[in-house]
Amino acid sequence: MQNLTGKVALVTGSGRGIGRSIALKLAKHGARVVVNDLDIALAEEVVAIIQSLGSEATACVGSVTEVGFAERFVNTAMTHFQGLDIIVNNAGYTWDNVIQKMTDEQWDAMLDVHVKAPFRILRAAQPIIRHLSKAEAEAGKEIFRKVVNISSIAGLGGNAGQANYSAGKAGVVGLTLALAKEWGRMKVNVNCVAFGFIKTRLTESTADGDATVNIEGRDIKVGINPSLAKMFEQSIPLGRAGTPDEAADAVYLLCSPESNYISGQTLVCGGGISI
């Protein structure tokens, strides 16, 4: 059932992993998607897949932390699709260390990508959403828009070695709560999904512990020791880590019309894990 037909969705960090699955999930339900990634090849690959599904998509390449990116991202939706209905603030990564060894750069990087970037995107979107909602109200139409911010169980319960990431993801929850109150009058549902252990390139098991990814010129260590990953999975009531597609399903729930009276909530997608 394509219950998002005609909707325009912006999804940050949607060239791979969870973001890619979110973009494809929304497209399969009829949404037109603005795909974002640092890598133009990955972004264009997702655009091509969406187009092959019979939906529409375009790419907006760049870092969500760049000055001016938010305005460019929002304007891409308006230029190509003349609308703005769904915003998913998904882009992010981890850069771990215990606090006594954590640098200011590590701290700032996590707050920039997880809190400041969503803030800027939502700030840039507000005038457009206000204009659209006012016109709809004057026409006697009740049309709901959706914002889904991505948090983590680290943002709800903390995690050793992730003071920066935990603080950033906790900030996302606060941003969600504030915007749900500010934007309710514009018929915008603002919610949050907090992921548990989801299998992505950032959480893959690595025996040697030397796996890295390059993000904006920084080599960031990624991966989890296999024994630690096994321990994590054993703590999950459903007995395993989640997949990117299952993570996308949780986001879709809060983008669907069935969530029109749900706002200011944080949905934990973690296989039953307790915080």
Instruction: Specify whether the CB–CB gap between 133 and 187 falls below 8 A.
Output: yes
| Residue count (the chain) | 275
Output the DSSP codes for 29-87.
TT-EEEE--S-HHHHHHHHHHHHHTT--EEE--S-TTSTTHHHHHHHHHHHHHS---EE
139 burial level (CB within 10 Å; 0-12, 13-18, 19+): exposed
102 burial level (CB within 10 Å; 0-12, 13-18, 19+): middle
Q: Which residues, listed in sequence order, are joined to residue 212 by a DSSP beta bridge?
A: 221
Output the DSSP codes for 85-110.
-EEEE-------B-GGG--HHHHHHH
**What's the one-letter identity of residue 125?**
A
For the chain, percent helix, then strand, then coil, each to nearest 5? 45, 20, 35
Compute the distance between CA of residue 47 and CA of residue 55 in angstroms, rounded to an integer: 9
Indicate which residue of 93, 165, 252, 261 is catalytic. Answer: 165
Return the SS3 of 198. strand
**What's the one-letter identity of residue 180?**
A
Give catalytic status of residue 261 as yes or no.
Answer: no
Structure-token match 């809060």, residue found:
254
Q: Which residues are catalytic?
A: 165
